[in-house]
Amino acid sequence: MLAEKKSTDGITRVDLAELLALRARAGKPGSARTHARTPLAGGHVSALRGRGMDYAESRVYQAGDDVRNIDWRRTARSGKWHTKLFEAERERSLLLLIDTHATMRFGTRVRYKSVAAARAAAWLAWTCVRGGDRVGALAFGAVRDAADPHAGARGALNTLGALARWDAAASAGADAAEPLSAAVARAQRLIAAGNRVWVLSDGWCTDPNATAALVRLARHAEVRVVIMVDALERELAPKGAYVFETTADRRVVDLVGAEARAGFRDELARGWRGLASACDTAGVAWTTLSTDDEPDLALAPFLRRRSARA
């Protein structure tokens, strides 16, 4: 396990300067047309019909329709009154749901899962504000706080500052468990229908109610999950004796035999496998991000993937 350091080294602790530098690697969001379902002004096309810039279709006139939108040509051709419908443009928000449990402060390759999650969140924030979206964040677990969504550089900087503060607070304070279902419910109360929620977690907080909570959130918003994983959670460790240290304990684990190595991997994998299973059952898209992955390379295809709800 990587040795704990008190400085913001970008390995065991989030380095704000590194998060800021990820702006240069921000990509363009997917160009697939997305239907927002909220009455906010902005740059995404809404599935709602109302007065707006782009003509959508005409339908038979109904009581209460604005007479200014009567389609005179269609009315003359059909002999029945028709009214024009328009697609209104909407702005979307992205809410990043950040796991701050103590299990995230673990890693054997390059950096802790907590640092990898912050880097992924920063890249997503820069990418989405570049595409005209608002971005905010919600911490759950050891830290329970929120950064309100804002557009442009203000939104990204506000989110990045929160990520650095939450990491410092989680590292310095005692861990406090919060089930994933409770965190998802908090997120649902904060975000308007039709917007996006990305969950970044290692899955150890997944509880029996998590699947139902994800289903409810997916009815309300576009949900995607990035599961943070370490190499030892997916691969057999090389033979040997390993020392694992925390602030309260030091343990030596004997991993010489193949059975012991497999059992050790499977025990460490319970977190991410549990969250992956909950996502599959809920019909929520998910991907894994290793502690040695670069977010722009690992997440760009997942970001561009068209949502089943789009």
pTM: 0.78
Say how far apart CA 140 and CA 180 lie, in whole Å: 8
Q: What average pLDDT does this structure show over 228-238?
A: 92
Segments in the chain forming alpha helices (H): 16-21, 72-78, 113-130, 152-172, 180-190, 210-220, 258-268, 270-282, 295-304
pLDDT tens-digit profile of 3-21? 555 566 899 999 999 999 9
CB atoms within 10 A of CB 256: 9
Q: How does residue 180 score in pLDDT terms, banded at 50, 70 and 90?
A: very high
Bigger pLDDT: 142 vs 47: 142
Q: How does residue 34 score in pLDDT terms, banded at 50, 70 and 90?
A: very low
Report the range of poorest mean pLDDT among 85-99, 220-234, 267-281: 85-99
Q: Where do the structural domains in the chain lie, given as residue ranges?
A: 16-34+92-234+269-304, 44-90
How many residues in the chain? 310
- In this structure, what token pair is assigned to residue 290? 């290793």
Q: Which pLDDT does position 52 carry in this prediction?
A: 44
pLDDT tens-digit profile of 90-120? 568 999 999 999 999 999 999 999 999 999 9
- In this structure, what token pair is assigned to residue 204? 């150890």
Say how far apart CA 152 and CA 28 lie, in whole Å: 14
For 138, the 3-state DSSP assignment is: strand
CB 207 within 8 Å of CB 183:
no
Of all residues in the chain, the percent with pLDDT exceeding 90 is 62
Q: Which pLDDT does position 49 carry in this prediction?
A: 42
Q: What average pLDDT does this structure show over 165-184?
A: 93
Question: CA 56: distance to chain centroid?
Answer: 32
Is it the case that residue 306 has pLDDT exceeding 50? yes
CATH 3.40.50.10800 matches 16-34+92-234+269-304: no
Q: What average pLDDT does this structure show over 171-195?
A: 91
Q: What average pLDDT does this structure show over 115-139?
A: 96
Q: What average pLDDT does this structure show over 155-182?
A: 94
Integer Rg of the chain from CA: 23
Say how far apart CA 289 and CA 287 lie, in whole Å: 7
Q: What average pLDDT does this structure show over 153-163?
A: 97
Q: Which pLDDT does position 309 carry in this prediction?
A: 44
Q: Which pLDDT does position 192 carry in this prediction?
A: 86
Q: Which helix (H) or strand (E) holds 254?
A: strand 250-255
Highest mean pLDDT among 23-37, 226-240, 280-294: 280-294
Report the range of poorest mean pLDDT among 3-12, 19-28, 35-44: 35-44
Phi, psi of 32 (to 5 degrees): -60, 135
pLDDT tens-digit profile of 199-216? 999 999 999 999 999 999
Say how far apart CA 215 and CA 310 lie, in whole Å: 16
Q: Which helix (H) or strand (E) holds 46?
A: strand 44-50
- Measured on CA atoms in the order 160, 9, 143, 180, is the torsion positive or negative? positive
Q: Which residues contact 108 (CB under 8 A, 6 or more apart)?
A: 1, 2, 230, 231, 232, 291
CB 92 within 8 Å of CB 99:
no
Q: How does residue 87 score in pLDDT terms, banded at 50, 70 and 90?
A: low
Residues facing 157 on adjacent strands: none
Q: How does residue 1 score in pLDDT terms, banded at 50, 70 and 90?
A: low
Is it the case that residue 146 has pLDDT exceeding 70? yes
Q: What average pLDDT does this structure show over 175-197?
A: 93
